[in-house]
Amino acid sequence: MSLVLEELSRRHNRRGFCCGVESLDYFIGKIAMQHAAKGISRTFVLVSKENKTVILGYYTLTPCQVHVDELDEKDAKDKPKTHPIPAGKLARLAVASDYQNQGLGTKLLVHAMEHFLQAQCAIGMCALFVDAIDENAARYYERFGFIRCSDNPLQLYLPTETIRKAYR
Amino acid sequence: MTGPRISARVTPETRDLVHTAADIKGVSVADFLAASAIEEAHRVIEQERSVSVSSQYADSFFAALKTPPKPNKALRKAIKEHRSA
């Protein structure tokens, strides 16, 4: 099977996508096209060359802002107040149920990081964050070096420079 | 207020729950629903567009940006196998 990555369009069978997580199926089925039209987020889908309507997997990248919580009032006084820092976020990544555990998720992640680097060149972003859907997914990202950084254990990041070096 | 209408079907239990809450707040059910929906909508949008680094991770986060960790083997291998160009 020869795979291609394409930007989501009306040609793709968005309602037919099923990955086992309701919120991810709902997003691609009903929301992703609207978001793309409004410029809120962009979604890329993995399809086979033989049948380009069936979505095998997808990801959504969005810009985001990093808010760093101050340690405490006393500490915060000595330090300059940190403004929100621009970053990228892999808000969603999903593989269709019939195609899981075949490396498609990793392929999507690699493409997402490439797109992130391209965007980063133009506007500057300090890191790529991910919202993992569950603990298993969080561990998956950790295998590639993603770091936990929040009371929310499902939020991880990888510094931009680490990603850039990996592509060299 | 005039404007477009949003409606939703709910169970009788949900209707009673919403009425009770609106009564407590002393507002109409319509105002209560609109205010709650707006609040939740802002929260969802905010969550999509922002991430937070908790205070106990702040130092390690800034350190990682200043001195980024080297990409690990798994990441290099994945890129070698899957990159498009």
Instruction: Give the residue from A57, A48, A68, A55 showing the smallest Cα distance to A90.
Output: A57
Looking at residue A41, its pLDDT comes to 84
Per-residue pLDDT of chain B (85 residues; tens, 9 = 90+): 678 998 889 999 999 999 999 999 999 999 999 999 999 988 888 877 889 899 899 999 999 999 999 999 999 999 999 886 5
- In chain B, residues 6-25 whose CB comes closer than 8 Å to chain A: none
pLDDT tens digits along A117-167? 999 998 899 999 999 989 999 999 999 999 999 888 999 999 999 999 999
Which residue of chain A has the CA closest to B57?
A: A149
Residue B52 and residue A161: Cβ atoms within 8 Å?
Answer: no
**DSSP state, residue A127:** E
Tell me if B65 and A63 make a contact (CB, 8 A cut-off). Answer: no
pLDDT-derived band at A11, boundaries 50, 70, 90: very high
Q: Do B51 and A64 touch (CB under 8 A)?
A: yes
What CATH number matches the domain at A3-166, 3.50.50.60, 3.40.630.30, 3.30.420.40, 2.60.40.10? 3.40.630.30
Secondary structure element (H or E) that encloses residue A159, with its range: strand A155-159
The per-residue pLDDT for range A21-79, each reduced to its tens digit, is: 999 999 999 999 998 888 888 899 999 999 999 999 999 998 999 998 876 655 555 55
- The pLDDT assigned to A151 comes to 86
Indicate the pTM of the whole model.
Answer: 0.83
What pLDDT does A18 receive?
96
Contact B53, A85 (CB under 8 A): no
| CB-based contact B78 A165, cutoff 8 Å | no
